[in-house]
């Protein structure tokens, strides 16, 4: 299975951001005989104020989500489509929704981000709270990608979810071991330099699966905030397979089922679990 992570630096213009993404997708070289999977970062379509997040949100099947489906079908790629705002029933709030589309453009999976980042100072004064604009998701899920004769069991978590390993272990208990954990993110520069790689490698080691992390990069919100970049692929042994720096670009990697099987034979940690609920 071939992976292409699109590391981008979206700004305030949805139209410009989507145009740049479309050009990047169209330029990818596909590998025949296997699944080609393009991965987008969290909130890839627009970066800006809470009001901009609300006004750019769509219902599933409309707007940006409809465009994503068309891109997948037109390019013949699976699309692990980062996240985009989805209209919710809660006044003033939208879901931060991750979607996955088949190479035929069918919607395969929907995950609404569960863990919302709410930063406060020592006195409890809010500094930056995702819950001001995002509604909290309630459920995780998995999906399958077919690549030649192989089937890959996959799951998506989003950015801050990375710090809560129980979300993945709970899903493994319900639906079986994962082959690939996708992590679209807008992980900040401040925390990314210390925590990003460590957390990604930990999730790969403990779940004995590939971790494919697609992060935003660069400055945004009029230069006041900065994302870490360093999109990367980690193998089931916790080894770094490939990564980008802080440039806008595409990270290309081919995943192997044999690598997963080898890691689980060398260290049977998944089958030796005691607490499985």
Catalytically active residues, by annotation: 42, 113, 159
Find the helix or strand (DSSP H, E) in which 114 lies. Answer: none
Q: How far apart are CA 250 and CA 50, in angstroms?
A: 28
Contact 72, 101 (CB under 8 A): yes
Asked if 158 and 15 count as a contact pair (C-beta separation under 8 A), the reply is: no
Task: Please give the full DSSP string across 214-271, using - where no structure is assigned.
Answer: EE-EEEETTTTEEEE---EEE-TTS-EEEE--SSSEEEEEE--HHHHHHHHHH--TTT
CB contact at 8 A, 264 and 232: no
| Residue whose tokens read 């627009």 | 46
The total of other beta-carbon atoms located within 10 Å of residue 180's CB is 23
What tokens were used for 162? 């990375």
The answer to whether 39 touches 3, Cβ cutoff 8 Å, is: yes
Among candidates 197, 182, 275, which has minimal Cα distance to 229? 197
Indicate if the alpha-carbon torsion angle 115, 121, 124, 130 is positive or negative: negative
SS3 state of residue 159: helix
């Amino acid at each position: 299975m071939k992976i292409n992570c699109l590391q981008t630096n979206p700004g305030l213009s949805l139209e410009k951001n989507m145009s740049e993404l479309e050009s990047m997708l169209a330029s990818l070289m596909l590998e025949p005989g296997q699944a080609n999977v393009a991965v987008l970062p969290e909130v890839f379509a627009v970066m800006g104020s809470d009001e901009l997040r609300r006004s750019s949100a769509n219902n599933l099947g409309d707007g940006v989500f409809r465009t994503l489906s068309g891109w997948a079908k037109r390019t013949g790629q699976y699309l692990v489509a980062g996240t985009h705002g989805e209209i919710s029933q809660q006044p003033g709030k939208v879901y931060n929704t991750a979607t996955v589309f088949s190479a035929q453009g069918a919607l395969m999976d929907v995950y609404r981000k569960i863990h919302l980042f709410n930063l406060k100072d020592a006195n409890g004064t809010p500094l930056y709270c995702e819950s001001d604009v995002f509604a909290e998701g309630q459920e995780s899920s998995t999906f399958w990608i077919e690549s030649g004769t192989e089937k890959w069991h996959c799951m998506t978590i989003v950015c801050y979810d990375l710090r809560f390993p129980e979300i993945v272990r709970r899903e493994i208990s319900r639906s079986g071991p994962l082959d690939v954990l996708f992590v679209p993110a807008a992980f900040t520069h401040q925390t990314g330099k210390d925590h990003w790689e460590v957390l990604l490698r930990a999730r790969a080691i403990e779940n004995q699966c590939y971790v494919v992390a697609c992060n935003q990069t660069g400055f945004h919100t009029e230069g006041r905030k900065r994302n870490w970049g360093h999109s990367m692929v980690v193998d089931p042994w916790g080894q770094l397979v490939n990564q980008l720096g802080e440039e806008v670009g595409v990270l290309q990697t081919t995943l192997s089922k044999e690598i997963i099987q080898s890691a689980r034979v060398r260290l049977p940690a998944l089958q030796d679990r005691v607490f499985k609920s």
